[in-house]
Amino acid sequence: MSGKPFSGPSGQVLDFLLKQNGVSRNEVLVTNTVLCAPDAGKVPPEAIKACAPRLRRELKDIPLVVACGSEAVNEIVGRGSIDRYRGQRIRRGSQTIVATNNPALVLRDDSTFPNLKRDFKRAFNPLPPPVLPTITVIEDIDDATRYIQSIKPGIVAADIETRGGLSKNAELISIQFTTEGNVATVIGERGGIWQDRTFVDTVLRPFLESKLYYYVWHGGKFDIKVLRSSYNINARVDHDTMLLSYALDERSGGDEHVGIHGLEYLLMDTFGWPKYTSATIERAKKTGIVENYDEFYEYAGRDVAGTHQLYDAMHPAVEKIPELYKMYQDKLIAGTEVLAEMEMHGFPYDVERASDVYEFEVGPELLSLTEGLRAQVDNPLLNPRSPIQVARYYYDLWGIRHEMQSRPDKKRSVDEASRKEVLAGRFKCKGDDEQRVFIQTFTEKYDRFQELAKQASTYILKMIERAEADPESRVYTSLNLHGTNSGRLSSVRPNLQNITRTKPGLPDIRKLFKASPGRKVVNFDFSQAELRVIAEMSGDPLLTKVYHDGLDLHSETAKRFYGENFTKQNRDTSKNVNFGVFYRQTAATFQEKHGIPEKEAQPYIDWVWKTFLGVKDWEAGIEKEIHERKYLVSPFGRRRRFHLITKENRQALYREGINFLPQTTASDLTLTSAIEIHHRIDRRYAALVLTVHDSILGDVVVEYIDEYVSIVKEVMESCALRHLGWKLPFKADFGVGPTWGECV
């Protein structure tokens, strides 16, 4: 609008970043990838192409370029995500390039501000060149034995490189150790050392299992699983630099290799190390085929030496904040052991039953729906799996308009929220009433197709493929302690936490996950844990009375609005609203997420804030704390930091802070319970297999179920009292069945 880039609030952010590094705006060229105003915030590829010659001319003689935002990074650095290039000073001839986010992004997402500050510092005030560690390689058994026996008790950084992933056949390529950050020793496979099980059994195992050493890893949960399953070495994680990083910066990020908690990024960011993972190394890590052992061992040695350096820098920083250090030890490190055992056990998947569900139920219906959709629009080539094709009918041919189009980047969306608007009749179109009925009929089929196709692809076909790759037909997930800002666990490869209770008319995916032979699945679930946390932390008299009296908040709310004879659907609506209102969802959000019309949701919202005044005051206190301290601390010591509060993001940060406290506390009650249960049960007869937010699943020998239930119920229901001193009842319900879905 002003004709100058970065003229508004984002320009203030840019000026701050420059000033922080001793640079003024008049010392730099500020330009855009395109000089036109893109429609709805989208930059057309043809505009970037048209502006490219002008941009190249502007940057031709510039020695330092900071590429801000995905369009700039793709055009100047190369195709790929910003995170792929972040942390580096990329040399192109005489030019240095640093990739970062657009400063405008922090106005909406404050979590990007720390990266921006670091990236601008890396550009204008880089760290001095680091002194990289000296690497010694050992490939002889006698030399390896002498080296291990020479290591004195104390802190030892450890790391492994493997091939074969997490399968039972995973094998070592190398294992590396260091007791100081400037040197490292790599014990490599080239001499056939790992084929000698005598060395593994008599030297390596006693060393890694010894209590005389404190082992530091980076993402060590993966490493100890391989050592345990493939080599019967009961290795442990005493410290983990990835989890230390997460304790200091709770932003979620990637696995042990990538993201803000990735080893290479942390070393670049903290010490100015160069990027040292080459394309050859990346191929070796994917395929297990080492093309250049000397290069590979150098990489492995840097990994372990870097881990030790990070430990020396991060451990004191966490240790000086007592509640944070306690959380790190009691939740993150203790949780590593329990989650590793869960992941190694896996969850048996019924391949035969899943195949039947697909062959006789899901597959035929998907085919029938596809044919019905094609017939309705008279297009035998329509692919209902293509949102672009379907969008052409909705927005070009039928001219549909609805409220969900106002969402960013959703103008032509055919997602679930958009379909709900059409199904509810909340849309306009080019045609008459008959055309509206036609569109709604099409949408009913399309909505059903989309729901069913997701179930089929993600939870049946891909799960069958995974289970068939395992001799016992088990599916193995990875449960990350650092995968969310709130401290909740996340599940990846595959995401088993996303398998919700089945909706009517959809296949019950949970029934496909079954107990091991001679066992049953036992599912324990905290009842309304987050709402109980809100009641305890807010001290609201009405809300705490509900739980002290053993009542069900959702049922009480349903009675208030629908009468004594409320239906299950009425209770579900009340449940969605109860959670949503306390988390400051608006009536428009209820319409988008749950299909509850705004006019129906608004009376709920008004009633809640007139009734639960204690919660209202508590949330106002959270707002004040966010402003004054710029961070919140949970009852278990987790932190949620707020890096930049602006007019644009203020309300979003309030909502995040209000969400954070109950969600992280409920999650930590579950994790704390799982850790205690793991150590109290007889693991010959029971194994924990999964946690899903507020629930814990066990695979339990039938004869041991009664004892298991007694232990778990006592641990979960007393957890809040024993660890936090809370007297509000925390109820744990449970079900038992041959499958996850049949736990009743």
pLDDT greater than 60 at residue 125: yes
Which CATH architecture fits 134-320? 2-Layer Sandwich (3.30)
Amino acid at 349: Y
Count of alpha carbons within 13 Å of 207, Cβ hemisphere only?
23
| 184-237 pLDDT, tens digit each | 999 999 989 998 899 999 999 999 999 999 999 999 999 999 999 999 999 999
The angle subtended at Cα 672 by Cα 494 and Cα 247, nearest 5°, is 75
User: In the CATH hierarchy, which fold is given to the domain comprising 540-657?
Assistant: DNA polymerase; domain 1 (1.10.150)
Residue 154 has pLDDT above 60, yes or no: yes
In angstroms, rounded to a whole number, what is the distance separating the alpha carbons of residues 26 and 238?
51
| CATH 1.20.1060 matches 351-468 | yes
Q: What is the pLDDT of residues 549-592, one digit of tens each?
A: 999 898 988 888 888 899 888 888 888 878 888 988 887 777 76
Q: Which residues contact 538 (CB under 8 A, 6 or more apart)?
A: 612, 614, 615, 617, 618, 619
Burial of residue 207, with CB atoms counted within 10 A of its CB: 0-12 exposed, 13-18 middle, 19 or more buried? buried
Give CATH for domain 9-124: 3.40.470.10
> 495-518 burial, b if ≥16 CB within 10 A, otherwise e?
ebbebeeeeeeebbbbbbbbbbee
CA distance 192 to 587: 66
Q: Indicate left, alpha or beta for 17 from its phi (over 0: left) and psi (-120 to 50: alpha).
A: alpha
* Burial label, 27 (beta-carbon count in 10 A; 0-12, 13-18, 19+): exposed
Per the CB < 8 A criterion, the answer to whether 251 and 242 are in contact is: no
Q: How confident is the model at residue 254 (pLDDT cuts 50, 70, 90)?
A: low
What CATH class does 474-528+667-742 carry?
alpha beta
Q: Which residues touch 201 (CB under 8 Å, ≥6 apart)? A: none
Break the chain into its structural domains and give their ranges.
9-124, 134-320, 351-468, 474-528+667-742, 540-657
Distance between CA atoms of 711 and 678, rounded to whole angstroms? 10
Are the beta carbons of 135 and 127 closer than 8 angstroms? no
> Could you tell me the CA-to-CA distances from 294 to 298, 683, 699 in Å, in that order?
6, 43, 45
The pLDDT value given to residue 592:
65
Ranked by mean pLDDT, which of 34-38, 57-61, 406-410 comes out on top?
57-61
Q: What are phi and psi of 513, to 5 degrees?
A: -95, 120
Whether the per-residue pLDDT at 258 is higher than 90: the answer is: no
**What burial class does residue 208 get, using C-beta atoms within 10 Å of its C-beta: 0-12 exposed, 13-18 middle, 19+ buried?**
buried
Question: Is the distance from CB of 342 to CB of 688 less than 8 angstroms?
Answer: yes
* Assigned token pair, 4: 């100058």
Token pair, residue 339, equals 């989650």
Instruction: Give the number of other CB atoms < 10 A from CB of residue 428.
Output: 9
- Answer whether residue 42 shows pLDDT above 80: no
DSSP annotation of 129 = P
